[in-house]
Amino acid sequence: MIRELGFPSRRALAGINLSNLTLVGVIRQARFIGIRRAVGAGRLDIALETVKNSLKVAAVGGLLGLGASFVLQKPLSSIIGQPCWVNLGGAALGAGALVLVAFIAASYSAWRAASAQPVVMVRVRPCASCPPWART
């Protein structure tokens, strides 16, 4: 248990990373989101799509990490000279925490995308600087 002291900080860092990634995705798709809102998509539709995309990214990352841990289990055991194994209970707990962190991280970006005015979002040019709707 003491060895897992860094567990919350790693989850928080992953959440911040995922939140930034989702917000950048929303900024890059601002024009598309604005057009969807202009033709009738509701705020809930935009928010659900943003959260769904974030959960997809988190699921792919989680599956890649779990797969890498299974693949690297034996080589790591031989390198450190101690047996290593993947605890399935810990993997399930990690997957649950991953879904929770991904949902919380995506909620801010989803709220920003859903509450923006469609006219402002259609005028946004994708560039390195932050668009006007993201500043308010």
pLDDT (tens digit, 9 = 90+) per residue, 59-110? 898 889 888 888 888 888 888 888 888 888 888 888 888 888 888 888 888 8
User: CA neighbours within 13 Å on the CB side: how many for 35?
Assistant: 3
Question: Is residue 42 in some structural domain?
Answer: yes
Residues with Cβ < 8 Å from 86, sequence gap 6 or more?
66, 69, 70, 73
Domain membership flag for residue 105: yes
**Average predicted confidence (pLDDT) for the chain:** 79
Q: Which domain holds residue 62?
A: 13-126
55 found inside a domain: yes
pTM of the model: 0.71
Total number of domains in the chain: 1
- Write phi, then psi, for 113 (nearest 5 degrees): -70, -40
